[in-house]
Amino acid sequence: MVKDAPAIDRTGDPISDPAPRAVDGVGIELMSTRSDTERRNTTISEYRLFFPAGDPIAAGAHIQLPGDTVWSRVVGKPHNWHSPLTSWEPGTVVLAERVA
């Protein structure tokens, strides 16, 4: 499930709450997991997701991975793969971070 980034007003406050939408054919790769125990017990997991070409995912969106109840946050700008030789665009690479 994907919850797109909300529209914001001129001060940066959200003015909408987009409805979650399903996206089929997403590849998921767990890149790393680290624990922060300085002030509390926190686990941060980083994922690389491979979305189909043309999906409107953007920075600020939230992703719910299959079988999970926690929403992961998209970090950085999603990158569209593009072949300079054939103009083939196989998909969009998205980095997400889950804090639990």
The CATH number of the domain holding residue 33 is 2.40.10
Amino acid at 29: E
The dihedral sign for the CA sequence 30, 69, 40, 96 = positive
Domain span including residue 29: 2-99
Residue 99: which of 77, 70, 78 has the closest Cα? 70
How many domains would you assign to the chain?
1
The 10 Å CB-count burial string (b at 16+, else e) for 58-96 is eeebbbebeeeeebbebeeebeeeeeeeeeeeebbbbbb
Residue 70 to residues 41, 44, 85, Cα–Cα distance (Å): 16, 12, 40
Q: What is the pLDDT of residues 3-20, one digit of tens each?
A: 988 888 899 888 888 889
Q: What is the pLDDT of residues 26-55, one digit of tens each?
A: 999 999 888 877 767 788 899 999 999 888
pLDDT of residue 62: 92
Q: What is the pTM of this model?
A: 0.79
